[in-house]
Amino acid sequence: MFEKKSLVFAAVFTIIGLIAGLVISSNFNFLSKAYTEEKISKEAIDTLSKIGNAMAEVAGAVRPAVVNISSTRTIKTQGMPSPFFNDPFFRRFFGDEFGSNKPRERKESGLGSGVIVDRDGYILTNSHVIKDADEIKVKLSDKREFKGKVVGIDQKTDLAVVKIDSDNLPVIKWGDSDKMRVGETVIAIGNPFGLNQTVTSGIVSATGRANVGIADYEDFIQTDAAINPGNSGGALVNIKGELIGINTAIFSTSGGYMGIGFAIPSNMAKIVMESLVKKGKVVRGWLGVSIQQITPELSKQFNLKEEKGVLVGDVVEDSPAEKAGIQRGDVIVEFEGKETNDPANLRNMVASTLPGKEVSMKLIRDGKTMTVNVIIAELPAEMQKVSGTFENYLKGVHVQNITPEIRKGLDIPKRIGGVVVTDIEEESPAEGVLMQNDVILEINKARINNMKDYEAVVSKIMPDQNILLLIYRNGSTVYITLSAR
């Protein structure tokens, strides 16, 4: 009898539980539906839908003009001598090349992006994407592939122009990068990790970024739109689908995306491209001054009301600046109506000005504001750097003539001539032997007075030929050799 009652009670409780579950479930669904309807209004959904559709339209319009660039280059490496090199037994089985320290070649592939900016096949990309390439392949969004030809390279801005034999190609309209404001929405398009036509979005995090250490002339747009390896040379566009930057580099401690990417402004890229296409080189403006940042201490010493402008530390003899009456100690506050609060910023503005153009500059001298007109000249050849493209042990070494500013800054005696080392690329045969700011006086006992001498001598040195250098370093002259390691 007790067992029958227990079964009845159990059945009753089970039925009650099922009913309660259905009621709770029904109420939960009702509440969930009510909560959803209450929190996401039709207006919000419509607004987000419009934003999403707008972003999709912009991306769809510009994607066809972004291409994949793959390059192949030959890398020469020095073999390591083996202690068994002269052993006939090993040479019999492994060949005469076993253990040889002769240079060896290997193929290295690279991936990047590019932007079609002309219907006749001109493509803008980064110089590091196609640097030293033996072969360049360009893949369009419609899967067509073309062989790319280098029109010109400007390592000072890390820009290059590649041409393919086609016409009536999709292009991106040029935008005005000077009008971009911090906080504006931007879209980055490229081929990160070889994944074609990848689109990311973000905002402009900062403008006018310089002293990043990527190129000689820096005026980067900083963005948080995801940029990863392979994005280099791709497009950064505004909400109108206009090109406002060429994606170039990222700031990362891991090698991957960390929220900080840099793009070369479209206005700078356009000037460089037009110069490369029309003249085969980049013609830059020159003012002829040494400038430095204004600090709080300097601001007090020069009686400046505000801590702005750049200070003129020296004026080159017979330069445009000297002819216009600019003096040491002047503070340049405006260039063509634009404020100049950073030396790199002024340097970029001058370099982007066509030689022969007269510009207006506002400066402060002895507490008084004055305006001067300057006719910008072309940057003299002796002040430009020689890139290390020679196929010998001086490959990757960049040098420059010794200017009055360099002589003064490095405290080089007047009796010392030659060329100064400005940079040594990674994996250069001279890395670890030559140093930045070394002055090369002789190469293989041939006197070097300037870059012309340097190029003439170095261009005749064979790839495997040892090089004897006489250099000036830290107040004394020493001989060093570059040879197989």
Task: Please state the domain extents for the chain.
Answer: 38-281, 285-378, 383-482
Encode 201-227: b = buried (16+ Cβ within 10 Å), e = exposed.
Answer: bbebbebbbbeeebbbbbbbbbbbbbb
**pLDDT value at residue 145:** 92
> What pLDDT shows up at residue 422?
86
What's the rounded mean pLDDT across residues 82-102?
A: 53
Taking 60 as the threshold, does the pLDDT of residue 79 lie above it?
no
Structure tokens at 424: 């040594």
Per-residue pLDDT at 27: 54
Distance, in Å, from the CA atom of 303 to the CA atom of 364, rounded to the nearest integer, reads 10
pLDDT at residue 17, rounded to an integer: 56
Any idea what DSSP says for residue 379? P
317 has a pLDDT exceeding 80 = yes
Angle at 150 between CA 145 and CA 156, to 5 degrees: 130
Among the residue ranges 53-67, 157-171, 250-264, 444-458, the one predicted with the least confidence is 250-264
Q: Is the pTM of this model over 0.85?
A: no
Span 356-370, average pLDDT: 92
Alpha carbons 248 and 217: distance in angstroms, whole number:
13
For residue 149, pLDDT over 90 is answered with: yes
Structural contact between residues 147 and 267, judged by C-beta atoms closer than 8 angstroms? no
Instruction: Please report the pLDDT score of residue 252 as a whole number.
Output: 66
pLDDT at 474 over 60: yes
Name residue 311's beta-bridge partners: 292, 331
**Check: CATH 1.20.140.10 for 285-378?**
no
- Residue 473 DSSP SS3: strand
CATH architecture of 383-482: Roll (2.30)
Quick check: do 285-378 and 383-482 share a fold? yes
- Confidence grade of residue 230 (pLDDT, cut at 50, 70, 90): confident
Query: pLDDT-based confidence at 2, cuts 50/70/90?
Result: very low
pLDDT digits (tens, 9 = 90+) for 248-265: 887 766 666 677 889 999
pLDDT at 379: 81
> Across all residues in the chain, what is the average pLDDT?
82
Catalytic positions, please? 128, 158, 232
The mean pLDDT value for 401-407 works out to 81
Contact yes or no for 74/106 (Cβ under 8 A): yes
Q: Which residue has the higher pLDDT, 217 or 97?
A: 217
| pLDDT given for residue 471 in this prediction | 94
- pLDDT value of residue 31: 47
Percent over 90 (pLDDT), the chain: 35
Q: Which CATH architecture has domain 38-281?
A: Beta Barrel (2.40)
* Mean pLDDT confidence for 413-427: 87
Predicted local confidence at residue 10, as pLDDT: 52
pLDDT digits (tens, 9 = 90+) for 283-316: 889 999 888 888 888 888 888 888 888 999 888 8
Cβ contacts of 54 within 8 Å, gap of 6 or more: 239
